[in-house]
Structure 1
Amino acid sequence: MTGVNDVLATLRDGHPRLLLTDERLAELKRRVADDPLLAKIVADVIAQADRDLDRPVLQYVLQGPRLLSVSRELVRRTYGLGLAWRWTGQAKYRDRLVENLLAVCAFDDWHPEHFLDTAEMAHGVAVGYDWLYNALDEPTRATIRDAIVRHGLQVGLAGFEGTPWGWWHRVSHNWNQVCNGGLIVAALAVAEDEPAVARQTLARALASLPLALRQYGPDGAWGEGPGYWGYATRYTVYALASLETALGTDLGLSDIPGLDRAGEFPLYCTGPTGYYFNYADSGELNARGPLPSLLWLGRRYHRPAYVAEELQIAAARRAEPRHLIWYPDDSAAKALPRSLDKRFGGEVEVALLRSAWGDADALWVAVKAGDNQVNHGHLDLGGFELDALGVRWARDLGSDDYNMPGYWEGKGGGRRWTYYRMRSISHSVPLLDGADQDPLATARLTAFHSAADRGHAVVDLTKAYQPAAAKVARGVALLAGRTAVLVQDEFDLPQPAEVAWGMTTDAAIEVQAGGRAVLTLKGRRLAARIVEPAAAAFSVESARQAAPQKTNEGVSRLVVRLPGRQGPVCVAVLLAPADAMDAAAASVKLVPLDDWEGPKE
């Protein structure tokens, strides 16, 4: 990152200077008559703004220990009503936004104890102030500007100096980007009137932000999962795009390695069903939604695939204001062919294998390695998810209630690991004597290979199961001409232990003789077959839990249990659409994981 000694030297005169300049807005208005997708996006934004005209003005209401829902609603209304005002010039949108801005500026504080609340509110108020600046009288400007400084920037600077809630500037997860990003946007909004506090804020935030941005290295993955990738990247782009429009430069932040490839992560982590690879504290059956940040990333790094993918979402669903802000110069950009398989490194490593792109019925399997201590992490090293026939068959249940006692006690022995959805047993991972993985363990992808008719990955899970095991490894392969998935686990056990293979599913399960089972969901059928040990059998277990945990209604576990095993042990299960299983099974011959073809590490 380049120096920031005189960070405001190139500050753009006047307003608006954040994200969408008047010049860029005028250009979009000239194009809209000849661009049906752009016209559709504008219509979606204005329709949402019309709905917001009738919503009650925001009030200070905590949900649990958070004001975050109010802050996020202010951000949402700011972008919608603000863009509707700037596009149409109709005073009703401006006036309703001003009412909301003045309401939150009158709050006693923006709840700095949970600083995400403050940062998001500062961001939303700052964008509203900037976009409406020329339509506000000076007393209104002063009121809003004072709140940005008093509730946002000064509180943020206190956080940098060491208040109990100011830890976020030392971490490398989403809190860093959201808190620093919100403060950067706020500082740029008021910089000409409050240069001292703006300079101080920018200096501290710009020094802290790279701690998180480096986590995108080496190739764009995000340790907290695809859901939090969206949140972290959204605020990364708010910060970088605002620096770009306000200062004419992002000060080299966008050159940090990994950011240029970050857009690949949500694309590969989305299965054919539209659901994400749902590891970490992700939402229930978390589906890929709009990610307008991909438009900015696509422009900045010349990645037309990011743009093409996101424009498809904007065309098919209700578009968001940021689709308009970062609408591309070339809306006819086409996605380039991508490899079927992908490996991502970093704090959490994942491998994703698929039979085809653009086919809702394609096979897709994802497996993870990494660090159980990652923020929002679960005890899920080696966990896999599986799509086939348009159905998510093996799934991660996602997060539980963030307000449950001890939910954030994530070190060894923490109460977080007493909750079912955090524990290993809820995930599709190996189990030894029913014990959880070591919360402090790490795992690495030790092999990855992609060929025309097959892809596979191998994970070394040994550290997660010590001292019960001298070695644990899991291989996941898409094979038999990419018509079936093999999950193969290998153990070296110094003492007798029960070995369990399990898969968490919403499907109805019919256990059959001969180590077979058929899963049925949404009228589709998936077959499961135990390849090794030959005499093993499937069983079905419930995932149901008692409140206040999520109860997991209708969720089951397809399980193989092998009691009293010692020495070398192998458990291998083949999964395929029911009508493809016989042919796939006939072609599969087990090979030790050490001998799976392809490069090893």
Structure 2
Amino acid sequence: MAIKNILDIVAFDDDLESITDSIDFSSIAAHPRLFLKSGDISNIISLVGSDTKIATFHAKIMAIADAALTADNITYKLDESGTRILQYTATPLAQRLTSLAYAYKYTGTATYATRAVTEMLNACAYPDWHTSHMLDTATILTGFSICYDWLYSAIGATDRTTIETTVFKYALNLIYSNSVSDYSTNQTNWNQVCSCGIGLASIAFYNVNTTICGYFLNKLLHTLRIPAGFYEPDGTYREGPGYWSFGTNQHLLLLQGLESAFGTDFYLSDFTGLQKTWKYKLFTYSPTNKGFNYGDSSEGFTDVNPALFYYAIKNADTSVLYLQIKFLANGYDTYEPYARFMIPLLATKLNYSNVTTPKNVFYGSGETPVIIARMGWDSDQDHYLGFKGGKCNQSHAHMDIGTFVYESKGIRWACDLGSEPYTNSENGGINSSDNTQYSNKWQVYRNSIKPHNILQLDGANLLVDGFSDIVKVNKLTNKAGGVIDLTAPNANKLKFYTREINIIDGSYLQIIDTIIVGSTDVSARWNMSTYGSGVVNGDGSITLTSGSNTAILATSFSNAKAYTARVLSNEGTNSYDSSNTTTKKVCFDFTLNKNESIVITTTIKPQ
């Protein structure tokens, strides 16, 4: 059966028998069949010689490869919670193998190939590839697949057999026989990462076992629609910008692997949200080179991102590269360590001479709606707003519906603490993947309502199934932001609740909370985490100070209302809670009367 469009794929039922003939495997390319085509290495060499930005990035890959020549082999090591080998084994291994393979192809020096084979044989002697945590297995598969494919003619027959046998013994056979959990129906980035590793392995090792590899590749044409759906309809990503990089880069690496091996990605790049998602990622970079972080994403993920180079080729809008060129010029690295080679490779297919400036506002619905306003693209002094809706019952979510971050004059005045390291909370008995209403995940300070920039009601958790969507978007130069309806996650306390946040006149932030209270009085706290310090003023406002910079946080009520302004510690009380001493909580405490209708207007005015 030939696949003519994406509708053919998504129409398939769960009976994989119906898709076993979807791919014409007689068309599979010879080795190297992953990513590299004739002339690509020559083009990279030429670009490195003419473009200092790419030359600097190329040097990072070569430095990793050169260091590996004299380094000890990477050992099998579990993390502190005993859950995964991703941090200490799988990721470093994949990074080393792909770097050595790149160095070999670039220079032709056999020493790099010999060292890569030694590293692969060492990994073949591991006790297993840790299929109990499939991200580990998939990451090793990605590194092995690229290295094996690129070094194919340089690997001796005996060593090649050892590598091939181990890939099937430690991974593909186990997955094929259903001896491990099924990645293909997972609703998180796991699907993308596992699909990538298994898919690339099935391409690279296809000729070793055509039955198993053919099965996996045909299955991917069916199941990859699940993670493609994460981005619908506008490109937002429910797990946050950090996990966007992790999941999306693996997703696109697989699509590019299919394209290079078969001459087509089988229309798997045609999903609307997937085509648009570069805009979401672009806007999550802030003027201070932090990220709009929420959930388990950290704010420190500004990087040279292979996925954005892919989208620069796929789309006519060159603004996708506006910040990437700056990051390259400033010597930034990538957080996708085993996809580094894609930067010089993709850069050979791009023209940087006509990169346009992005617009000022991005908004997107979907499972985690966001509104992001950035009032300039060339200065760290520019105003920046990130504002989110969604719901808490999602992978990597926090109790943060309605939260926001805000920057101006080079300072992040409203911040998010990011995630608690999983090994910390897991050692404390926390189930980080349980997002239900009474999960112990919400006891973790950084996951809880306590540090988030939301209206907190009776200190109670939000309703995890309550979904908040965008009501209105403002894209004016004097009013940039929008409105999100927060009624559903607060429905146990309020009859109605919308929050509108805008950058006003390019000079300050305004937050308007419009509320109708339920049938009982509510003890409320307007809460915000901030860097630096705060001092309560005589008029009830709070002066925020960060270095030599200050801002005034002030609030007012449409109804006469007594309130107390506070500056509080942002420290958790659990033994596993990380320190947050670089931040404070600034709050306004007050009572909402039953059945009351009220508008609360709060401003942050940098001085």
Q: CA deviation at 1:564?
A: 5.2
Q: Structure 1 CA distance, aligned partners of 2:383 and 2:307?
A: 28
Q: Structure 2 CA distance, aligned partners of 1:32 and 1:266?
A: 27
Q: Deviations over 1:150-181 (max 9, x none)?
A: 2222222234xxx5x52431123201110111
1:43 and 2:71 matched: no
Partner of 1:289: 303
Note the 1:504-519 alignment, pairs <5 A.
504-519=529-544
How has the CA–CA distance of structure 1 residues 374 and 334 changed in structure 2, closer, same or farther, with 3 Å as cutoff?
farther
Unpaired segments of 5 or more residues in structure 1?
Answer: 579-601
Q: CA deviation at 1:407?
A: 2.5
Q: Structure 2 CA distance, aligned partners of 1:308 and 1:351?
A: 20
How has the CA–CA distance of structure 1 residues 93 and 22 changed in structure 2, closer, same or farther, with 3 Å as cutoff?
farther
Q: Structure 2 CA distance, aligned partners of 1:531 and 1:292?
A: 46
Partner of 1:29: 45
Partner of 2:378: 358
1:482 and 2:506 matched: yes
Note the 1:416-565 alignment, pairs <5 A.
416-479=441-504, 481-493=505-517, 494-532=519-557, 536-546=563-573, 547-563=575-591, 565=593
How has the CA–CA distance of structure 1 residues 239 and 564 changed in structure 2, closer, same or farther, with 3 Å as cutoff?
closer
How has the CA–CA distance of structure 1 residues 209 and 82 changed in structure 2, closer, same or farther, with 3 Å as cutoff?
same
Q: Structure 2 CA distance, aligned partners of 1:167 and 1:527?
A: 52
Q: CA deviation at 1:25?
A: 1.4
Partner of 2:337: none
How has the CA–CA distance of structure 1 residues 465 and 38 changed in structure 2, closer, same or farther, with 3 Å as cutoff?
closer
Q: Structure 2 CA distance, aligned partners of 1:387 and 1:282?
A: 18
Partner of 1:59: 75
Q: CA deviation at 1:295?
A: 0.9
Q: Check whether the contact 1:307–1:333 (CA below 8 A) recurs between aligned residues.
A: no
Segment drifting more, 246-255 vs 564-573: 564-573
Matched position secondary structure for 1:416 = helix
How has the CA–CA distance of structure 1 residues 386 and 305 changed in structure 2, closer, same or farther, with 3 Å as cutoff?
same
Q: Structure 2 CA distance, aligned partners of 1:100 and 1:146?
A: 16
Q: Structure 1 CA distance, aligned partners of 2:306 and 2:329?
A: 12
How has the CA–CA distance of structure 1 residues 239 and 418 changed in structure 2, closer, same or farther, with 3 Å as cutoff?
same
Write the letter of the residue equivalent to 1:430: L
Write the letter of the residue equivalent to 2:53: L
Equivalent in 251, 263, 266 of residue 281 of structure 2: 266
Q: CA deviation at 1:8?
A: 4.3
Matched position secondary structure for 2:602 = strand
Matched position secondary structure for 2:590 = strand
Q: Structure 1 CA distance, aligned partners of 2:177 and 2:400?
A: 37
Q: Structure 1 CA distance, aligned partners of 2:592 and 2:37?
A: 69
Aligned length: 572
Q: Check whether the contact 1:472–1:489 (CA below 8 A) recurs between aligned residues.
A: yes
Equivalent in 111, 120, 124 of residue 139 of structure 2: 120
Q: Deviations over 1:302-337 (max 9, x none)?
A: 332223432332232255322112224334243323
1:252 and 2:267 matched: yes
Equivalent in 88, 99, 123 of residue 104 of structure 1: 123
Partner of 2:99: 80
Q: Structure 2 CA distance, aligned partners of 1:32 and 1:435?
A: 56
Q: Structure 2 CA distance, aligned partners of 1:142 and 1:11?
A: 24
Q: Check whether the contact 2:391–2:489 (CA below 8 A) recurs between aligned residues.
A: no
Q: Structure 2 CA distance, aligned partners of 1:147 and 1:130?
A: 15
Q: Check whether the contact 2:564–2:590 (CA below 8 A) recurs between aligned residues.
A: no
Partner of 2:14: none
Matched position secondary structure for 1:380 = coil
Matched position secondary structure for 2:75 = coil
Q: Check whether the contact 1:279–1:396 (CA below 8 A) recurs between aligned residues.
A: yes
Partner of 1:599: none
Q: Structure 2 CA distance, aligned partners of 1:39 and 1:359?
A: 26
Q: CA deviation at 1:520?
A: 0.9
How has the CA–CA distance of structure 1 residues 11 and 155 changed in structure 2, closer, same or farther, with 3 Å as cutoff?
farther
Segment drifting more, 395-404 vs 119-128: 395-404
Q: Structure 2 CA distance, aligned partners of 1:182 and 1:295?
A: 21
Q: Structure 1 CA distance, aligned partners of 2:219 and 2:370?
A: 33
Segment drifting more, 94-103 vs 307-316: 307-316
Q: CA deviation at 1:189?
A: 0.2
Q: Check whether the contact 2:369–2:389 (CA below 8 A) recurs between aligned residues.
A: yes
Q: Check whether the contact 1:516–1:527 (CA below 8 A) recurs between aligned residues.
A: yes
Matched position secondary structure for 2:520 = strand
Write the letter of the residue equivalent to 1:315: A
Q: Structure 2 CA distance, aligned partners of 1:318 and 1:477?
A: 31
Write the letter of the residue equivalent to 1:141: R
Matched position secondary structure for 1:297 = helix
1:147 and 2:147 matched: no
Q: Structure 1 CA distance, aligned partners of 2:28 and 2:325?
A: 30
Partner of 1:594: none
Q: Structure 2 CA distance, aligned partners of 1:92 and 1:233?
A: 33
Equivalent in 185, 190, 210 of residue 200 of structure 2: 185
Q: Check whether the contact 1:123–1:182 (CA below 8 A) recurs between aligned residues.
A: yes
Q: CA deviation at 1:537?
A: 4.2
Partner of 2:12: none
Q: CA deviation at 1:9?
A: 2.6
Q: Check whether the contact 2:445–2:572 (CA below 8 A) recurs between aligned residues.
A: yes
Partner of 1:582: none
Q: Structure 2 CA distance, aligned partners of 1:106 and 1:141?
A: 14
Query: What is the aligned-residue identity percentage?
Result: 25
Note the 1:373-452 alignment, pairs <5 A.
373-403=393-423, 404=426, 405=429, 406-452=431-477
Partner of 2:13: none
Q: Check whether the contact 2:375–2:506 (CA below 8 A) recurs between aligned residues.
A: yes
Q: Structure 2 CA distance, aligned partners of 1:532 and 1:334?
A: 49
Partner of 1:19: 35
Segment drifting more, 524-533 vs 270-279: 524-533
Q: Structure 1 CA distance, aligned partners of 2:438 and 2:332?
A: 44
1:216 and 2:231 matched: yes
Q: Runs of 4 or more off by more than 6 Å in structure 1?
A: none
Unpaired segments of 5 or more residues in structure 2?
Answer: 1-5, 10-18, 334-339
Q: CA deviation at 1:510?
A: 1.2
Normalized against structure 2, the TM-score is what? 0.91
Normalized against structure 1, the TM-score is what? 0.91
Matched position secondary structure for 2:464 = coil
